[in-house]
Structure 1
Amino acid sequence: MGGIDMVNGVAGAVIGMLFAVLFQQPLQDSWFRVRRRWFGAVRSLRFRAEEPGPSWTTFSLGPLRTPALIVEGDGETPIPAEGVHIQVLDDEARLPAEIAHWWDEIEAESTRLRAEGRTPIWNGQRYAVESFDISRTPLDERPEVRLRLRPTDYYTFLAAQQLDRRLPDGSTLRSRYLDPDHPLEAPAFLQCSLGVNIAVVTADDMLVVSRRSDRVRTAPGTWNSSVNEGVSRHIDSSGRSAPVLHAVARRGMREELSLEPHEHSLALLAFVLDVEKRQWSAHFYARLNELTHQGLRARLSRGVADRWEHQSIDYVPFRAATVARYLLHSDRIHRWAPVAPALFHLALVHVHGRATVERAEAQAVRRH
């Protein structure tokens, strides 16, 4: 029996070797082809399942989502004042005839408030954004921005803010006039808001964060930029001249924080559009030369021209990790004004550099 077992073993080994030589490589090749086709099919299905992403995406930081679209500027390279060209057109931005009565409703509400001895709605003179164009200088490729504006008023702005109010045919201003895939295209009457937002940092490196008053009509009670100021036709345009955004920023610093131009430096970082409300903002960074946060607090205690616009102010250490955690804090994350988080991010990038800021923000998101 032992001899027979040995013969069978040898025969089995020989047959196994022959099988390996004849069939192992073809089997391996077949298995490789099957795997390659399988993974290729899976990748193809995944690619087909994913919708093409938009070329324009709004600012987000982990779970913090905003409608702020950074149209021009990255924070690192300021936009020079001489690179901003503003033209004011003659004809006013007017509401379409079918919603002109919305303007009348706001005027009637203001009249009623005045009759009741309450604060009426002041119909200030504003600008509507007709178009926004971006180019580069031919030699050094510095940014050049061209804004075309039309005269308008605050009542037109409030009427056009009713983007989701139903029209007689069941449509809305949003569905009729706005295309999410082309966010920069909109009629002027829907873009009756142009202003500046400023991130102010004190001499001892504290970021000033303001909370909007409950008395304001737009985004009441939300946490916002250090300074927010709308461009006024009455104040910012002498005669027929176009407004200068750096001058508007200096006016905002004076009216909201009692700071004079010689007490700070200004850098224009970006132009940002709130795509939900169609509000344009020039984002600035301001550094106080000598005034610390304690000094600023003492200054504010002695009186501010527009104190009613803010109900409280926070002072946050201007470090990337600290500001990122502050933005994501549970009592803040859902209470930000639309363009404020993008402003603070750009200010951090301007001072600390993109790599440092993005590394700190990524760590804050992971720990959130």
Structure 2
Amino acid sequence: MSGIEIVNGIVGAVFGILFATLFQQPLQDVWSTVRRRSATSLRSLTYRSDGTVSTWSSFSLGPLHTSALIVEGDGTHPIAPGAMRLQVLEGEVVLPDDMAPWRAEIAAEEELRGQEPAVGVRIWNGPRYAVESLAVSRTPLDEQPDVLVRLRPTDYFTFLAAQQLDRRLPDGTTPRARYLDPGDPLSAPAFLQCSFGVNVAVVTADHLLVVNRRADQVRSGPGLWGASVNEGLSRHIDSAGRHAPDLHDVARRGMREELSLESHEYALYLLALVLDVDRRQWSAHFSAHLKDLNGEALRARISRGVTDRWEHQSQDYVPFRPADVMEHLLRDDRIHHWAPVAPALFHLALVHAHGRGAVERAEARAVRRAGRTGRS
């Protein structure tokens, strides 16, 4: 090797060291920035390609998906009595001409059941209410909820006819396709919303959640697991045609008829207004905490007789702790057999009793366990 080559090698090495010292870190920083911006752009493109996510999403818990849309309330603070008002409008709900024959079919079937007991249990056409419209606002000073639900008179046969949302009309469409907009779940004609009721999560004095399974012979949700108490508004019982129903009074009636509990035996809290968007059924969600009766005493009370025993066929008593209730909701033999609004009801009751943070942590752990065990 000549002297010139040695000098050139030394000079090249010096320049290499200087280049690395002066420019390597800036180049790395530039490359890192380019990669980060590229990844961000890719994520942005991916997010946009998924479309806009609606804030009106129904309640879900990992693999458990429901059609329950929580319209007002989150469980953290009860809704004060009087903050959710009902107004009854004049004029009964009328089905469209092409749906009216469905109601006539139901009436004829039930008349046949009355004449031929072997055909099955007859369903009576009780007077009910349909939801005409909903107005939600906040009080000006403390921003507490102020909810007005406008109702119209209807009956049970109209409700059963309107529940056939996917039945074909003469023109080939369905009531769901013709009258409902998935992007606007709160807007629907009154004749498709002939159901308003209350659901109560009952907790015993020894902290057990009462979970009931609906009887097989009921027309709505037969065999499904659900609320401790479920009661529909009745024009005959809850208002007698003279005044609008009071939701707390309806819940107390359900507690008395289904569990033989009197109002002085529990504390009652209104937690939310919920809509089953698939069936167009409205519900006020309550929790009730028994003051003295434990699970054993409640079972003994029920064994001595209840007014509406036929509505339920079995009960579970679940420790009222977030982890236990979440595990119960996601059980393999339960996850596909819940009434649509029940999981949201139990979630809200847990939040009211234990706080949102504790409940959400328990839900996250339960969902992870469900994922590991492959539940779907």
Flag structure 1 segments of 5+ consecutive residues without an equivalent: none
Deviation at 1:115, TM superposition (A): 2.2
Between the aligned partners of 2:169 and 2:151, the Cα distance in structure 1 is: 27
Task: Name the CA distance, whole Å, in 2 between partners of 1:203 and 1:17.
Answer: 78
Going from structure 1 to structure 2, the CA distance change for 1:32 and 1:96 (only over 3 Å counts) comes to same
The question of 1:221 aligning with 2:214 is answered: no
1:97 corresponds to which residue?
97
Q: How many residues align?
A: 368
Asked if 1:357 corresponds to 2:359, the answer is: yes
Equivalent of 2:122 in 120, 123, 148 = 120
Once the two structures are superposed, residues 47-76 of structure 1 have per-residue CA deviations (whole angstroms, 9 ceiling, x without a partner) of: 331210012011111111100000001111
* Match of residue 196 from structure 2: 194
Instruction: Rate the CA distance shift 1:21–1:327 in 2: closer, same or farther, 3 A.
Output: closer
SS state of the match for residue 348, structure 1? helix
Matched, 1:10 2:17: no
Q: Which amino acid aligns with 1:241?
A: H
**SS of match in other structure, 1:147:** strand
Aligned mates of 1:283, 1:7 — CA distance in 2: 88
- Contact 2:121/2:217 (CA < 8 Å) preserved in 1? no
Q: Which amino acid aligns with 1:279?
A: Q
Aligned to 2:61: 61
Closer/same/farther in 2, CA of residues 24 and 130 from structure 1, 3 Å limit: same
Q: CA deviation at 1:3?
A: 5.4
Give the 4+ runs in structure 1 shifted more than 2 A.
1-9, 14-41
Distance 1:29 1:364, change over 3 A: closer
Assess, with a 3 A threshold, how the Cα gap between structure 1 residues 36 and 253 changes in structure 2: closer, same or farther: closer
How far did 1:38 drift? 3.2
TM-score by length of 1: 0.95
Aligned equivalents of 1:21 and 1:267: distance in 2?
69
Alignment CA distance shift 1:364-1:43 (3 Å): closer
The more displaced of 83-92 and 276-285 is: 83-92
1:44 Cα deviation after fit: 3.8
The one of 145, 148, 151 aligned to 2:147:
145
Identity rate, percent: 67
Structure 2 distance, partners of 1:33, 1:137, is 49
CA spacing shift, 1:332–1:13, aligned 2, 3 Å: same
Per-residue deviation, 1:25: 8.1
Matched position secondary structure for 1:82: coil
Counterpart of 1:210 in structure 2 is: 212
User: Structure 1 residue aligned with 2:343, among 334, 341, 344?
Assistant: 341
Residues 44-53 or 153-162, more deviating: 44-53
**CA offset digits 1:3-27 (Å, max 9, x no partner):** 5764353143245357658986896
Tell me the secondary structure at the aligned position of residue 313 of structure 1: strand
Distance 1:267 1:18 in 2: 74
